[in-house]
């Protein structure tokens, strides 16, 4: 019997969070976090963040240029033409987690995300997992968690391995 989807997602997501924390602590913003940019060694289960071609230096001021995959673009960029690096990373991580556990992108390619849009999640997901995804993909960036908040989230604290 294989590892349940949420258990495998938990392990992989935890490794991605560690990689993002390492990069930001070194002043680097990946800018293109998505499944295609995670290399997984199937023999060891170790994940590596790859493809830093869109990466940049982390700054405290707003970014006014976006380089990366359009379907992962930060919500503020879509609506205002600017965004902040760390919150934009949280948005991308929310999309990534959604893809890991739901096996699809939460927002259809080319679809405009509206401020009143409700995110529908499958009932098979634990309430903690649903809450974490909704927190990262809230339509209000002031509500988004920090990277450290993600590590402390109840879903991330629970061990999801068989």
Q: How far is CA 82 from CA 67, 87, 88, 125, in A?
A: 12, 12, 10, 33
For residue 154 the two structure tokens come to 């109840």
Contact 102, 67 (CB under 8 A): no
Q: Which residue of the set 32, 149, 153, 158 is catalytic?
A: 32
Which whole-number Å values give the CA distances from 153 to 10, 34, 39, 114, 146, in the listed order? Answer: 12, 21, 25, 26, 10
> Tokens 């002043």 appear where?
27
Give alpha helix (H) positions in 26-126: 75-80, 85-102
41 is catalytic: no
| Consecutive H or E run containing 28 | strand 28-29
Q: Which two tokens stand for residue 11?
A: 């392990």
Specify the DSSP element, H or E, that contains 40.
strand 38-40
Query: Would you please indicate which residues are annotated as catalytic (active-site) residues?
Result: 32
């Amino acid at each position: 019997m294989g590892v349940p989807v949420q258990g495998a997602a938990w392990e992989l997501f935890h490794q991605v969070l560690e990689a993002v924390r390492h990069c930001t602590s070194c002043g680097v913003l990946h800018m293109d976090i998505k499944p295609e940019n995670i290399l997984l060694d199937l023999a060891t289960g170790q994940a590596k963040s790859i493809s830093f071609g869109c990466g940049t230096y982390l700054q405290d001021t707003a970014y006014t240029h976006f380089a990366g995959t359009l379907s992962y673009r930060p919500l503020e960029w879509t609506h205002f033409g600017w965004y902040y690096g760390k919150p934009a990373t949280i948005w991308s991580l929310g999309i990534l987690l959604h893809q890991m556990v739901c096996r699809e992108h939460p927002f259809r390619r080319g679809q405009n995300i509206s401020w009143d849009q409700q995110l529908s999640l499958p009932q098979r997901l634990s309430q903690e997992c649903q809450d974490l995804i909704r927190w990262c993909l809230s339509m209000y960036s002031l509500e988004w968690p920090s990277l450290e908040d993600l590590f402390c989230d109840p879903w991330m604290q629970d061990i999801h391995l068989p």
